[in-house]
């Protein structure tokens, strides 16, 4: 059976938020990943304007996916007030097996009311915003609450997708996917979270983000 996975894309998206989970989930047996524009297909520019991702369809073309992956990026701020997008999220969530987000995609889920009463995570710069949307902010890379899974900033979408792959196809398949994409991170610096980075680096990141 085909497993329909919907990844909404939009102007102002952070590319890895969508592409990281895609690289994992597209390898799940039976998976069909759909990159969906909010209203129409076509190219959507990333948050820095340097790259375009192409939507092959629109949200209305896949109203009831088994899996939702809502990515983040600066463009999510406007989507938090877009009732058409929020209505699709709510309706899709009603029948989904899994509803997930990466980075500030969690803010869209929150604006749709999906995170109300749940623990959730997002990019560290906007973690406190989750409490305004009815969620309990948690500073972890991946947070599971029933069928809702939220991931922190950008690269954590890969961790989320591997967690989801294990639910969908089993731990062995998820580990084989991890090995296939050679996801064995050994970063040159141990500054990937505010708990580890020196204060000066945290401040520099705030100014650059």
Active-site residue set: 103
| Both structure tokens of 109 | 């889920």
- Give bridge partners of residue 42 from the DSSP assignment: 55
Q: Nearest-CA neighbor of 27 among 141, 181, 150, 144?
A: 181
Residues 194, 195, 200, 203, Cα dihedral to 10°? 20
- Range list of H helices, the chain: 15-25, 76-79, 83-95, 105-111, 129-132, 156-169, 171-180, 199-208
The residue whose two tokens read 């990515």 is 71
């Amino acid at each position: 059976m085909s497993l329909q996975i919907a990844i909404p894309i939009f102007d102002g998206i952070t590319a890895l938020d969508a592409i990281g989970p895609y690289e994992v989930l597209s390898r799940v047996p039976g998976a069909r990943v759909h990159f969906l524009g909010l209203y129409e297909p076509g190219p959507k520019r990333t948050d820095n304007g340097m790259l375009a991702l192409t939507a092959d369809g629109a949200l209305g073309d896949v109203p009831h996916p088994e899996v939702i992956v809502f990515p983040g990026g600066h463009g999510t701020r406007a989507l938090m007030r877009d009732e058409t997008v929020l209505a699709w999220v709510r309706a899709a969530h009603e029948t989904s097996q899994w509803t997930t987000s990466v980075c500030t995609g969690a803010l869209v889920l929150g604006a749709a009311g999906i995170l109300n009463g749940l623990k959730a995570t997002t990019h560290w710069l906007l973690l406190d915003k989750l409490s305004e949307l009815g969620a309990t902010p948690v500073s972890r890379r991946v947070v599971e609450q029933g069928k809702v899974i939220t991931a922190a900033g950008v690269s954590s979408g890969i961790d989320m997708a591997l967690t989801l792959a294990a639910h969908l196809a089993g731990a062995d398949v998820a580990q084989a996917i991890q090995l296939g994409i050679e996801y064995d991170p050994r970063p040159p610096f141990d500054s990937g979270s505010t708990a580890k980075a020196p204060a000066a680096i945290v401040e520099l990141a705030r100014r650059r983000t």
